[in-house]
Amino acid sequence: AQKVTQAQTEISVVEKEDVTLDCVYETRDTTYYLFWYKQPPSGELVFLIRRNSFDEQNEISGRYSWNFQKSTSSFNFTITASQVVDSAVYFCALSEGSGSEKLVFGKGTKLTVNP
């Protein structure tokens, strides 16, 4: 069975601090995909990144970076120099590489960035 664990329920930081959101996953599939979504107070889920199981390269996009490590089944997300607009709930998700490719979500981490 697939499972995603986001152990941090809530994180609060001060603007300009760096913050890392943890994600640990479980799957028996050899082909799978990992995602991060952002859910701001408005409620709509916004896609941030997709990673497939064959590509362990880390990725950086502006202030966002992702560290994918198959050895520890982790896909952590770091925001550098956080801003108030980064305040949201962040979800990590896993999809198997066959069938419906439905997303299995973690419980989410609520990030609050204070001015």
Q: What is the DSSP letter of 63?
A: T
Token representation of residue 89: 């709930």
Exposed / middle / buried, residue 6 (Cβ in 10 Å: 0-12, 13-18, 19+)? buried
* Least CB distance to other proteins at residue 7 (A): 14
Of 35 and 82, nearer to other proteins (C-beta) is 35
Of 19 and 38, nearer to other proteins (C-beta) is 38
**Distances from the Cα of 114 to the Cα of 11, 36, 37, 56, 70, angstroms:** 11, 22, 21, 33, 33
The gap from C-alpha 31 to its chain's centroid, in whole angstroms, comes to 18
45 binds other proteins (CB under 8 A): yes
* Least CB distance to other proteins at residue 44 (A): 5
Site for other proteins in 68-107 (CB under 8 A): 91, 93, 95, 97-107
Q: Which residues sit at the interface with other proteins, rule CB under 8 A?
A: 31, 33, 35, 37, 43-47, 50, 52, 54-55, 91, 93, 95, 97-108
